[in-house]
Structure 1
């Protein structure tokens, strides 16, 4: 029974709620509700009880089936302060003889039982005490059942349902082990004592779920925490914290990999994309400001979990029974981290690479998960996030002698130190270099070439994308304005006597469209972003299309504003997200109302008006000056 039970226990949700006892120090008493929504309760019961073919249970089978009672298809819902369980019921009774079953009486309907859930505090077994029951026909209306079958129903069906139980001890034990890991090492012994003191309170039947409250006291941990002065004073060095964040990012990508794209709704895919982008943009912002800390990483995990966990709870759970049991612990710890984040200073909650790897291993049958921070394109990630791409043919590669002849002596000097060869593995064609390496003597022809290529790629994006026709012209303006703002139309620059790709001041973004390699990890090839101008342009155009269509236009529609947002404001909003992530949609609208703009808002506004008014002569301000 336990093995079957595990198949359905994956999505048990533990949401931590902190309750402060009157007159006492903050957070001395905690209540953790084990939350089991009713579809999950159904799955748990099926896995533990309805183990015969077609999710049935043969309660009684006599005389070759002449007398039988079969239950199947359980379902649960809340009813007042109880749980209402409905079970498909087939009953048959006849006189058995040598010739077979004589004059059988059969009935097919539903047994509907009002139940009170009960948790045994000693063995953590969840059972259900029947209050009353009724029989319903196939249309769920009160039924009249032949008297000959009533005794069978009372003695066998009703009694069987009244003894259904679920063993919650295995997932609870896993939860306790993993919960200990989220405490600082010097507090874990105290945390073990605290967790050991957990007691279960009476289950509560809410409209959305059955909740079993766990209560425990935090005094032991808080006392130890006070003794350890400056526990968080020696924060990790920024480099170490950045590595921890990379592990967190890999952990979230790993979680996304567990989902099947075809099972996700568009809204669910959007939630995952929002969470991934917001988390990554937050990291790049903190990295630029030099404030990467271990606590920041922990807070980002908590925020990401709160946003995305409902999607994972809904879709995970199709593995083996052992996998399901491990997944329960996975979700339990994730939920606990999300809310315990509020008590980090009092309880010494922290996150580390070991904790993340342990959680990941729960979804991999206990196998170790390295959580490597890979830079290669991740087709699985793109599929789950519903990111479709179209890229041009790769740059042609001639031999080095041809490159020297065509480029001439001026470029030949830095061919040996040319960064492309080491990173991309092949030399660029001479034609490619001549066309896309900017020279002051070549401003107008260079700008014409870049504009022509950008127009070609943006038109291709319009043709193959999902931009509404009314916004095609605006999209073109956004593309050119963004390129001007981000790079002054440059993919490459001269550095230390060699040609290299353009990189942002904080070393996160590259190329003519300044694609953020951290934010778009797994979506775009970093080497091509750096060395292939067409690839970089295509990526930038796709990202702008994404922010226009999947964010700006959809969010504006949901806001139902009294007055329509004009195109100029819409363009600035799209760029704000391109620069700062999805959260900047709302932030920019607020800045636009107050007039308190970021410097990047104002600089883009300049470029946007110049492109709109075809004031291309202003390009010299950044090309010659840069």
Structure 2
């Protein structure tokens, strides 16, 4: 026993510290049945209309054709069933005397295995069968099957997956995202390999492996100053803008390729959540590059399952590009999830390289950060053409702030001529409402005049929104009180407040502005930032449009009204999303929610009930309480 203890102590003393040991990481690439089907179409069934002539006698008298492959995945193997047609005959005097014409099916079982060439997967045929048209019996062609079976198996064994282009992309990416560690990165590059290929009922999984060498984690990072200097602040602003531009471009591109509305809604939710995650970072005086790394990891955890679904909807070549991106992103996120520092750098070159994994043709616009409205972004995600706004030639709001005579517009002159023809709310009374409310910071003494005007404006905005965007009749009764209650909750129906003697648009620390508190960072590209601040009608329309989006694409789409509580749940869920982002959709019915969020939700629900009961002007409680 003493000798045993001594040996254990000696081995422990001689072994390297844990931090100095290398660490192996694995990254699964999941290929769905649709992807396998596309590979079959490209590599095996390459004829017209996804067909394959398996065998013929050279005179087109005896042949077997296959078409329309449908792979099914099971534990350990892939079974592909294809429609089959065969002819058996005799060639006489240059003509074919047909003896048998047959229609049926062929099934082929294959098992994946690592190929002879590194980075490749081959599919070995383990069995094959033939069925008559009823799908059950072999039929008359059963005897012929023995003659052509080997030809079928030979053709199917052409199927392979070659990951070498993917591995090549990873080897080019790593030195760019870890520029501070050239020697360890070289060791990693040499060790990246394909380890296994397995099949279950849902996917073919190809597992990549890489080894992190000793010392790769806990790399000394440059110490950050307690407060950023102006130059450091400028570099930080450039970094987060590049990250935001990269993510926006990538999600816009993914949204263009997505087939289903649900996938597009999930992609937009990732963008919204990522931008919301960025908000507290923007207000920190000592933010550093690690902040972007943390945001990258958090965003990837949301984006990965959406891209998995998206890749199954794409042609094989495009799907492989997305799989390459997913492998790279998953690799980086896994490494960065390890405790410690690694020196990950998400600079412009690294982001461009990462984006080109998904789309090799990405252009110079990738990292362009703009606050302009992006009509393409709005169209892809179902918002339609840009919202109309009143012309920017309005007098400065401050000049009309406390002047009742200036607010009481008696004539609009040539102003209406400048209103865009597409303006849904084009009537002169709407313009007059906006004119009167713009620049007005209400006080308790004028609420009797102010609140009815805001109510009328919001009612018109609700009607315009329902004209622009579809909503099933059964949900329309929810929409008006929902919009009015949110405007009450968010701003007390105010676009402007008076601060230090000046009238300014009401604004939160996180960048939300106006009557609907539309966040300018979160909704960059969807709305005009200047109009959100200085046009109460535009801000109200933007907010109502966002409410509609959250109600339809999240609350209704996820069937919140089918939980206990019924239709009221749609209201609660929509506001929870409006307040906290798509990930907050079900917080109103969860127990593990912070007390502060529960109070916010209860406060909103109180307001919604008041508005629904028919007295929205009780918003005056904001000013008296």
After TM superposition, the score normalised by the length of structure 1 is 0.77
Alignment match, 1:487: 491
Q: Is the 8 A contact 1:277 1:581 kept in 2?
A: yes
Deviations 1:343-362 (A, max 9, x none): 26265545333222223234
Alignment match, 1:514: 517
Match runs of 1:118-197 below 5 Å: 118-120=113-115, 122-146=117-141, 149-150=144-145, 152-182=147-177, 184-197=178-191
SS in 1 for 2:249: helix
SS in 2 for 1:207: coil
SS in 2 for 1:330: helix
Match runs of 1:2-401 below 5 Å: 28-120=23-115, 122-146=117-141, 149-150=144-145, 152-182=147-177, 184-218=178-212, 220=213, 222-226=214-218, 228-230=219-221, 240-259=235-254, 264-288=259-283, 292=287, 293-317=291-315, 326-343=321-338, 345=340, 347-369=342-364, 370-387=366-383, 394-395=389-390
Q: Is the 8 A contact 2:268 2:381 kept in 1?
A: yes
Distance 1:267 1:366, change over 3 A: closer
Q: What is the rounded CA distance, in whole Å, between the counterparts of 2:448 and 2:362 in structure 1?
A: 59
Distance 1:469 1:61, change over 3 A: closer
Distance 1:354 1:411, change over 3 A: farther
Q: What is the rounded CA distance, in whole Å, between the counterparts of 2:524 and 2:311 in structure 1?
A: 25
Q: Is the 8 A contact 1:45 1:166 kept in 2?
A: no
C-alpha displacement at 1:53, in angstroms?
1.9
C-alpha displacement at 1:304, in angstroms?
3.3
Q: Is the 8 A contact 2:386 2:527 kept in 1?
A: no
C-alpha displacement at 1:533, in angstroms?
1.7
Q: Is the 8 A contact 2:220 2:341 kept in 1?
A: no
Match runs of 1:577-596 below 5 Å: 577-590=577-590, 596=596
Q: What is the rounded CA distance, in whole Å, between the counterparts of 1:146 and 1:409 in structure 2?
A: 94
Q: Is the 8 A contact 2:87 2:98 kept in 1?
A: no
Q: What is the rounded CA distance, in whole Å, between the counterparts of 1:30 and 1:154 in structure 2?
A: 42
Q: Is the 8 A contact 1:301 1:338 kept in 2?
A: no
User: Root-mean-square deviation (CA), in Å?
Assistant: 4.4
Q: What is the rounded CA distance, in whole Å, between the counterparts of 1:345 and 1:483 in structure 2?
A: 44
Q: What is the rounded CA distance, in whole Å, between the counterparts of 2:575 and 2:482 in structure 1?
A: 8
Q: What is the rounded CA distance, in whole Å, between the counterparts of 1:253 and 1:609 in structure 2?
A: 37
Deviations 1:351-376 (A, max 9, x none): 33322222323444344443322333
Q: What is the rounded CA distance, in whole Å, between the counterparts of 1:399 and 1:543 in structure 2?
A: 25
Q: Is the 8 A contact 1:82 1:114 kept in 2?
A: yes
Alignment match, 1:16: none
SS in 2 for 1:519: coil
C-alpha displacement at 1:454, in angstroms?
1.8
Distance 1:559 1:276, change over 3 A: farther
Distance 1:92 1:596, change over 3 A: same
Deviations 1:133-162 (A, max 9, x none): 221223332313447734541342333334
Aligned residues: 575
SS in 2 for 1:126: strand
Q: Is the 8 A contact 1:60 1:69 kept in 2?
A: yes
Q: Is the 8 A contact 2:80 2:108 kept in 1?
A: yes
Moved more, 445-454 or 594-603: 594-603
Match runs of 1:452-463 below 5 Å: 452-461=456-465
Match runs of 1:501-580 below 5 Å: 502-506=505-509, 508-552=511-555, 555=558, 557=560, 560-561=563-564, 564=565, 567=568, 574-580=574-580
Moved more, 187-196 or 511-520: 187-196
Q: Is the 8 A contact 1:187 1:225 kept in 2?
A: no
Q: What is the rounded CA distance, in whole Å, between the counterparts of 2:162 and 2:509 in structure 1?
A: 53
SS in 1 for 2:201: coil
Q: What is the rounded CA distance, in whole Å, between the counterparts of 2:258 and 2:220 in structure 1?
A: 49
C-alpha displacement at 1:514, in angstroms?
1.7
SS in 1 for 2:549: helix
Q: Is the 8 A contact 2:65 2:86 kept in 1?
A: yes
SS in 2 for 1:583: helix
Q: What is the rounded CA distance, in whole Å, between the counterparts of 1:608 and 1:166 in structure 2?
A: 56
Alignment match, 2:425: none
After TM superposition, the score normalised by the length of structure 2 is 0.77
Moved more, 90-99 or 169-178: 90-99
Q: What is the rounded CA distance, in whole Å, between the counterparts of 2:71 and 2:126 in structure 1?
A: 15
SS in 2 for 1:316: coil
Q: What is the rounded CA distance, in whole Å, between the counterparts of 1:361 and 1:163 in structure 2?
A: 29
SS in 2 for 1:315: coil
Q: What is the rounded CA distance, in whole Å, between the counterparts of 1:71 and 1:311 in structure 2?
A: 29
Distance 1:482 1:144, change over 3 A: closer
SS in 2 for 1:201: strand
C-alpha displacement at 1:516, in angstroms?
0.9
Q: Is the 8 A contact 1:91 1:149 kept in 2?
A: no
Alignment match, 1:449: 453
Deviations 1:475-533 (A, max 9, x none): 44443333234333332456788765x14142612222221112222222223222322
